Chains A and B, each alone.
Chain A
């Protein structure tokens, strides 16, 4: 029972900007038979410039459905399991594109297409058994080819001594590499119409680009080239005519830039989706910023002295343990910075423990493990805990206990770069500090002399609903004084 079906098809990523309108009648009793088919194709440039050239039937109008059979795999194997499909119905494929992956007895086989065309039917679902010699897919080709009898499925480009592929188009052999053929197809160019300038009239990429240039050139207004008046030779004694003075500057004709990249759309899932949620919640917090500059000469010296001691105990000592401990000491004087507010900002919770989070850059993105109860830990203990978190973080083994429960965060973005930053508070916290990179800069000391100062910048952000600028400034000053004069930390150490 024949049924007329009009379908508008959009061929896949291959032909951008080209719409094929297909009306065809098809007899359902035989999938291979196509009664008639009209192909309407409009060229993009033609559409915009010459209305009467809207419809153009292509020279080759009859496509046919070809049954692509699974050919012999070798070793007497008669059946395989289909493990993965690389195409789906409606996709367009080129010769040598991978169609599917099948497996038989420890051998994984990639089946590639023998034809260019559009996939019309997949005969098997995943994990079904496919039989050698039986149809695997139906491909609708729009090129009349001699369909070779069942031979090796994968026509390797290396079979003949020529390393390029042949394509028979209307009995005319055109030599071109697969990449060139793809470029031609994407720009809707028939290879038979392109003059090849390579060896044996091989079509090169430049030939395609030149062909394209000629095509668009035919529609554009005449080039300014014809208006260029050649400059007169200097020895000419005849009087110059006024016309010569009006030289038009030759405009170089540039080759049209062919860019075949495409935008890629991906859904936001997993960890990134959670980040979107967190940051959207952070947006509700009115942030204010406060920045300052810290001179770390004394701390640098102290760390140099303490580094070998820590190393002897198996711990790597960076600057962070000092920054963290100093923050905790300062929080003891300004506990409002170690709080949390509820949903409607009606209650404020003063957190007893200083769980200071350290922003870490990993494969997933930004994660913030925290050091618990910094207020009762020594600098050495903080350093060893940091080592543990860092090694777990780099191997992707951090647990939720380490990643939750933070009350205050420090972000050492300076290890990557930057001076001042505008950090975003991580709810449910109320404050965050970003540390810039350490630089050696000239500064004046108390005697008015210039000296080499180890300068680091800090940028604080705080929740202005419950924290005011003065509090933040005083906290920062205290933190800064501990770091600029580490001996003073000793006085307040708990």
Chain B
């Protein structure tokens, strides 16, 4: 019963700030103030969808929101980045680490439950990233005065002057939000190995990430848990905005509070968004194959736009594969998604309509497997 009461009042609260849906009756009162929300979900897509929802639906002219969230192991790339350049997709597939693309700019980060995400929602006029970061630093210093944390002019937070504990990104559209990470007790070693791309030969204008040495707050002070840090930041935010230190828990799948949010969650999971939004890039790589005691050099060039192959050239030693066959593969790869599973299904299906020759099949498979291992 209590749950329903809280839910109903939260829903009413959100309704006050609906832009499109509700008649003017609810609009008369626009109390200034701020609110602190915390997600109960650890799903990156659901949590990112909350940011989208607030951005699209809330009236933030006289209002501010702090949103706290954490995710299960995920790599999150910036709006204009290239996932093949930024992370080890193969390792992520093996370790079941998700990949998400956020709507804000900036670089690639690794999230797990030991990392806190903070999103500061304001109107565009009140958009001030350094102020937000100063708030975080102040909260940490209140908690542990001996902590050496400060904000750089790149909007990073550094621990002991050398180690990055937080990265920042922002999105401006209807309103503005600034979000940042905060490393409390994340898996640092997994972070550095998963954020290293093994793929060579990629040329693109996508935003590159700037690698940095990282450290966890937990390593500096083992008593600092994510919950303690989140509480401290919420408390500081409450003081700054002169509101009660009250954190409202939200469920990102609740359509009654966030109508339309499940569609946003779905959109963030589509291939078209995660991979298809990669800026145009070209990949040019050489690899060698071993076949029956001989080495073969293969050169592959591809242009990829909107995540789909636009140009494809495979250079093989002469006559190793019937040239018509190689041409078929190149021709059919054009228009295909630059995606391992689609390309594999395509290459295998193509083989069905080719003359059946065990030797040819073996070579074809060898070529294809080597190609995809090198490219993705």
B70 at the interface (CB under 8 A from A): no
1/0 per residue, CB under 8 A from A, across B116-149: the answer is 0000000011011100000000000000000000
Q: Taking A156-B174, A278-B349, A404-B348 as contacts, is the C-beta distance between A398 and B335 under 8 angstroms? A: no
Task: Give the complex CA separation of A280 and B356 in angstroms.
Answer: 17
- B171 x A109 contact (CB < 8 A): yes
- A362 x B61 contact (CB < 8 A): no
Report A480 CB to chain B, min CB distance, Å.
Answer: 29
- B335 x A267 contact (CB < 8 A): yes
Q: Within B332-376, which residues are at the interface with A (CB < 8 Å)?
A: 332, 334-337, 339-353, 355-356, 361, 364-365, 368-369
- B59 x A107 contact (CB < 8 A): no
User: Which of A163, A270, A278 makes the CB contact (< 8 A) with B342?
Assistant: A270
Residue of A nearest to B350 (CB): A274
- B342 x A395 contact (CB < 8 A): no
B215 at the interface (CB under 8 A from A): no
- A126 x B279 contact (CB < 8 A): yes
A108, A269, A362: residue with the most chain B Cβ atoms closer than 10 Å:
A108
A63 at the interface (CB under 8 A from B): no
Q: Taking A107-B170, A277-B353, A399-B369 as contacts, is the C-beta distance between A156 and B175 under 8 angstroms? A: yes
A275 at the interface (CB under 8 A from B): yes
User: Which of A110, A273, A367 makes the CB contact (< 8 A) with B348?
Assistant: A367
- B172 x A271 contact (CB < 8 A): no
A244 at the interface (CB under 8 A from B): no
Q: Within B251-305, which residues are at the interface with A (CB < 8 Å)?
A: 277, 279-280
Residues of B within 8 A of A363 (CB): 341
Residues of A within 8 A of B111 (CB): none
User: Which of A110, A281, A340 makes the CB contact (< 8 A) with B172?
Assistant: A110
- B356 x A342 contact (CB < 8 A): yes
Task: Give the complex CA separation of A82 and B197 in angstroms.
Answer: 26
Q: Within A397-444, which residues are at the interface with B (CB < 8 Å)?
A: 397-401, 403-405, 426-428
Task: Give the complex CA separation of A161 and B30 in angstroms.
Answer: 9
User: Which of A269, A343, A398, A399 makes the CB contact (< 8 A) with B334?
Assistant: A269
Report A132 CB to chain B, min CB distance, Å.
Answer: 13
How many chain B residues touch A (CB < 8 A): the figure is: 69
B28, B176, B308: residue with the most chain A Cβ atoms closer than 10 Å:
B176
- B344 x A398 contact (CB < 8 A): yes
User: Which of A157, A395, A405 makes the CB contact (< 8 A) with B19?
Assistant: A157
Task: Give the complex CA separation of A107 and B346 in angstroms.
Answer: 38
A152 at the interface (CB under 8 A from B): yes
Residues of B within 8 A of A74 (CB): 124-125, 127, 172, 176
Residues of A within 8 A of B129 (CB): 75
Q: Within A270-295, which residues are at the interface with B (CB < 8 Å)?
A: 270-271, 273-275, 277-278, 280-281
Stretch at the interface among B98-106, B233-241, B315-323: B98-106
Q: Within B200-228, which residues are at the interface with A (CB < 8 Å)?
A: 205, 207
- A163 x B174 contact (CB < 8 A): no
Residue of A nearest to B21 (CB): A163
- B349 x A158 contact (CB < 8 A): no
Task: Give the complex CA separation of A157 and B19 in angstroms.
Answer: 7
A84 at the interface (CB under 8 A from B): yes
Report A80 CB to chain B, min CB distance, Å.
Answer: 10
- B171 x A107 contact (CB < 8 A): yes
Task: Give the complex CA separation of A399 and B349 in angstroms.
Answer: 12
Residues of B within 8 A of A109 (CB): 171-173
Report B297 CB to chain A, min CB distance, Å.
Answer: 21
1/0 per residue, CB under 8 A from B, across A347-390: the answer is 00100000000000011110100000000000000000000000
Residue of A nearest to B107 (CB): A106
Task: Give the complex CA separation of A349 and B361 in angstroms.
Answer: 15
Residues of B within 8 A of A468 (CB): none
Residues of A within 8 A of B344 (CB): 398-400, 403
B91 at the interface (CB under 8 A from A): no
- A278 x B352 contact (CB < 8 A): yes
A143 at the interface (CB under 8 A from B): no
Residues of B within 8 A of A269 (CB): 308, 334-336
Which size class do A's interface residues fall under? 35 or more
Q: Taking A106-B169, A163-B19 as contacts, is the C-beta distance between A342 and B335 under 8 angstroms? A: no
- B19 x A107 contact (CB < 8 A): no
B22 at the interface (CB under 8 A from A): yes
Q: Within A80-108, which residues are at the interface with B (CB < 8 Å)?
A: 83-84, 101, 103-108
- B340 x A108 contact (CB < 8 A): no
Task: Give the complex CA separation of A126 and B23 in angstroms.
Answer: 41
- A110 x B23 contact (CB < 8 A): no
Task: Give the complex CA separation of A163 and B15 in angstroms.
Answer: 12
Task: Give the complex CA separation of A162 and B30 in angstroms.
Answer: 12
Residue of B nearest to A159 (CB): B61
B166 at the interface (CB under 8 A from A): no
Residue of A nearest to B25 (CB): A199
Task: Give the complex CA separation of A427 and B339 in angstroms.
Answer: 25
A183 at the interface (CB under 8 A from B): no
Residues of B within 8 A of A400 (CB): 344, 347-348, 351, 364-365, 368-369
Residue of A nearest to B102 (CB): A108
- B174 x A277 contact (CB < 8 A): no
Task: Give the complex CA separation of A343 and B174 in angstroms.
Answer: 61
Residue of A nearest to B168 (CB): A106
User: Which of B20, B127, B175, B345 makes the CB contact (< 8 A) with A177?
Assistant: B20
Residues of B within 8 A of A106 (CB): 78, 104-107, 155, 168-170
A154 at the interface (CB under 8 A from B): yes
B13 at the interface (CB under 8 A from A): no
Task: Give the complex CA separation of A109 and B28 in angstroms.
Answer: 30
8 cross-chain pairs, A with B, having the tightest CB-CB distances, nearest first: A269-B335, A396-B341, A270-B336, A403-B348, A106-B106, A108-B105, A274-B349, A107-B170
Residues of A that sit less than 8 Å from B by CB: 73-75, 83-84, 101, 103-110, 112, 126-127, 152, 154, 156-159, 161-163, 177, 199, 267, 269-271, 273-275, 277-278, 280-281, 340, 342-343, 349, 362-365, 367, 395-401, 403-405, 426-428
Residues of B that sit less than 8 Å from A by CB: 18-20, 22-24, 27-28, 30, 59-61, 78-80, 93, 103-107, 124-125, 127-129, 155, 168-176, 205, 207, 277, 279-280, 308, 332, 334-337, 339-353, 355-356, 361, 364-365, 368-369
A-B contacts, 23 of them at CB < 8 A, read: A73-B172, A74-B125, A104-B105, A105-B105, A109-B171, A126-B205, A157-B19, A157-B20, A158-B59, A162-B24, A163-B24, A199-B24, A270-B308, A270-B335, A271-B336, A274-B346, A274-B349, A281-B353, A395-B93, A400-B368, A400-B369, A404-B365, A427-B353
